[in-house]
Structure 1
Amino acid sequence: MNPSSLLLILLCCGLTLAQDTIETQSPSCVDTCNIAKQFGAMREKIHSLETKMMNIENRLTGYESRILQVEQKERNMVIFSAGIGGRLPLGPFDTDQTMIYDKVFINTGNAYNAFTGIFTAPVSGVYYFTYFCHSGGGSTTSLHLYKNNEVILEIHDHQSADTADNGGNAVFLQLQQGDTVYVRLKANSHVYRASTVTNFSGFLVKKTN
């Protein structure tokens, strides 16, 4: 066999082997490309999920902040209202008496003591107080509202021919933490025990430092 014929045979064999190799590897290349595409799609989905999770976390943080603000406001809320029950005359007495409003309607913050009749400011701030009374016209009525030991407001009803009278008063007060507010029935005067008409109320308007 001459060299030219041998070279031609070897060339044909090489082309055949190369074709077989390409045909054998082609499916593997296709699979690799598909896997790469799927992996890319999964990465995009994971990135999208991560973004959504971050948005959810940010929203939850905002909700938690709002809840904390509401809880803080509730902790600072101070409201009370109480009356005197019994539907009987109270007084007259020989000495001044602190009014004990024993029927409590509300006492948010527990600043009012139903056993002593005294309100103690839990925080410094501006407070609003009201007090009302009912009495018979045949006797004198004199009720004073105190801040600590200072008279702030007064209700008076002089003896008259009236069968019954009502009175009331109200005030804004700047209180420091620990200040007390209460009502005293003056000596030789009376009121009528009825929570619907003889009562004492107050609430925190604004907290101050």
Structure 2
Amino acid sequence: MKFTTVLCVLLFSGLALAQDEAIAFRLLPCFTNLCERIREFDAMTEKLQALETKVKDSENQIVELKNRETTKVIFSAAVGGEGGQSRTVGPFNTNTILTYEKVFTNIGNAYNAATGTFTAPVAGVYYFTMFFHAGGSHEAQLYLYKNSDLVIVTHDHRSDTDTADNGGNAVFLQLQQGDQVYVMLLEKCHVWGSDFHTTFSGFLVTQM
């Protein structure tokens, strides 16, 4: 039972018990008016509580939007190092995840240079690119995977006359937090592994 109901019951009970009926009769309009004011106060209190709830929800939404704005994920890395003796990566007897050990940028620390794997820190849409340079003595096939699913491919055929080729591809991917993206070098294929010819890059376009 609300405070208003209890108070009004007590007031009217007091009036009923009043010994002087004339006094009780004169006071009845005052008590009735008081009960009405108390009801209005209760209604106003409920509206204020609802407003406070809306304000708190709005504050939580603002904090969430600010957190989204501060989430930045950008990486770019290359196979091998610069200068020195020319080096190729591959060919291998099995499909092998390329490790791009030369890291230029890794804002958000989502790319792991030891494994060659990018792990999405937040759900959102990301943009990825992969480029390679290779000689003609072996095929060059690079597959970009999202978890265990093949997404895009870049490929160059073996050639005895065309001794140097470049290739690449790019894609927008919608990822969930924890999804992994990596580049696989197919078996019996190779890429150039020096002077930063072969790269893997990506960044968060928008959080979702």
Same fold (TM over 0.5): yes
Q: Any residues of structure 2 matched to 1:152-163 within 5 Å, and which?
A: 152-160=151-159, 161-163=161-163
Match of 1:58 in 2: none
Q: How many Å apart are 1:80 and its aligned residue? A: 0.3
**Residues paired across the two proteins, number:** 140
Structure 1 Cα separation of the partners of residues 148 and 195 of structure 2? 25
Q: Any residues of structure 2 matched to 1:1-209 within 5 Å, and which?
A: 69=66, 73-74=69-70, 76-86=71-81, 87-160=86-159, 161-194=161-194, 196-208=196-208
Matched-pair contact (CA < 8 Å) for 1:137–1:164 = yes
Unmatched runs of 5 consecutive residues or more in structure 1:
1-64
Residue-by-residue CA offset, 1:13-37 (whole Å, 9 max, x unaligned): xxxxxxxxxxxxxxxxxxxxxxxxx
Unmatched runs of 5 consecutive residues or more in structure 2:
1-61
AA in 1 matched with 2:69:
K
Matched-pair contact (CA < 8 Å) for 1:103–1:195 = no
Q: Highest Rg: 1 or 2?
A: 1
Change beyond 3 A, Cα 1:128–1:158: same
**How does the TM-score come out when normalised to structure 2?**
0.64
Q: How many Å apart are 1:163 and its aligned residue? A: 1.4
Q: Matched residue of 1:73: which SS?
A: helix
Q: How many Å apart are 1:126 and its aligned residue? A: 0.3
- Greater helix percent: which structure? 1
**How does the TM-score come out when normalised to structure 1?**
0.64
Q: How many Å apart are 1:72 and its aligned residue? A: 5.7
Match of 1:51 in 2: none
Q: Matched residue of 2:182: which SS?
A: strand
Residue-by-residue CA offset, 1:132-184 (whole Å, 9 max, x unaligned): 00000121111100000011011111011211000000000000000000001
AA in 1 matched with 2:203:
F
Structure 1 Cα separation of the partners of residues 122 and 112 of structure 2? 16
CA RMSD of aligned residues (A): 1.7
